[in-house]
Amino acid sequence: MFSRGHPSCWPVRAFPPANGPTLTSPCLRGAGPVLALTAGVHGYEFPPILAGQQLLTRIDPGRLAGTVILVRLAHVAAFEHRVPYVNPFDRRNLNRVFPGKADGTQTEHIAWVLTREVIRRSDLHVELHSGDGAEWLEAFAGIYGGRLAAAQYARSRDIGLAFGLQNIVKYSMETQAQVDSGRSLNRQAVADGKPTVLIEIGENGRRDASFVDAIVKGVDNLLRVLKMMPRSLRPNQRTAIGSQTMLGRDWSPRTMPPTVSSAHFQEAMTKPMPMPITNEIP
């Protein structure tokens, strides 16, 4: 466990080292809200992991009005084995097994620890992702709202807009089945009543500095929007909300890989979405 600025930061441990790697989380602490930043839930999505390394030294706990729980690499086994989406041992997708189980598989146990030690100890949550090995994504912020997230929606909206991304998606959580079915880390935050946002920046497992920089700058601006750090705000660069050219899909016309046919692309674009999407953010 690494901590700065406060003696009561807690360790986040997924399982004993004898059974696999230990998940640890730095805690940068001051007096104020608790913001959880999670990266590396999918171990082949590198920009959030690299951004976490930069944020560890960039955030000054001496100037911080609040606490940042920074999970730089949630899924160590997937990262070490360079496996997209799933755990190399139990073949489970960490982002579909929340809240996890204390006595479950390796993936389920990681989910259980993240739920108990990160989500339930935080006031606000941002899940950082990027395009995995077979994804070409336009950058977007996914804001969780709808009937079951109405109480936290205004705060989630502020968090999402603070990243200054061109595309904003609103995930409307209207039924319990939407929250529970293949529950992701964001939807676990919804279930626990926490404002939560999904950030997607990057494509195809690449590690471009521009992807990493966009995440770092987004978090930097978020801390100022939340008044957790001083200094003036970076202007919000958002120019469009809810662009239907990319919502929830793996490809956009600009970045479609040459191996994907136009017919395949059209099918992907017109498949029903797993959750309702709205085109305007009120």
* Average pLDDT of the residues of the chain: 80
Mean pLDDT, residues 251-255 taken together: 38
Tell me what pLDDT residue 150 has: 97
Residues 258-267 pLDDT 10s: 443 334 333 3
Q: What is the predicted pLDDT for the residue at 17?
A: 39
Over pLDDT 70: what percentage of the chain? 72
| Mean per-residue pLDDT, 129-157 | 92
Question: Over the stretch 23-69, which tens digit does the pLDDT of each residue have?
Answer: 556 677 667 899 999 999 999 999 999 999 999 999 988 899 999 99
pLDDT tens per residue across span 4-34: 344 345 444 444 433 444 555 667 766 789 9
pLDDT of residue 134: 80
Share of the chain above pLDDT 90, in %: 62
Point out the least confidently predicted range of 103-107, 179-183, 271-275.
Answer: 271-275
pTM value is 0.79
Determine the pLDDT at residue 31: 74
Q: Taking a C-beta distance cutoff of 8 angstroms, is the pair 112, 198 a contact? A: no
Q: Which of the four pLDDT bands, split at 50, 70 and 90, describes residue 272? A: very low
Q: What is the pLDDT of residues 205-219, one digit of tens each?
A: 899 999 999 999 999
Task: Grade residue 223 by pLDDT with cuts at 50, 70 and 90.
Answer: very high
Q: What is the pLDDT of residue 20?
A: 46
Question: Structural domains in the chain?
Answer: 3-278 (3.40.630.10)
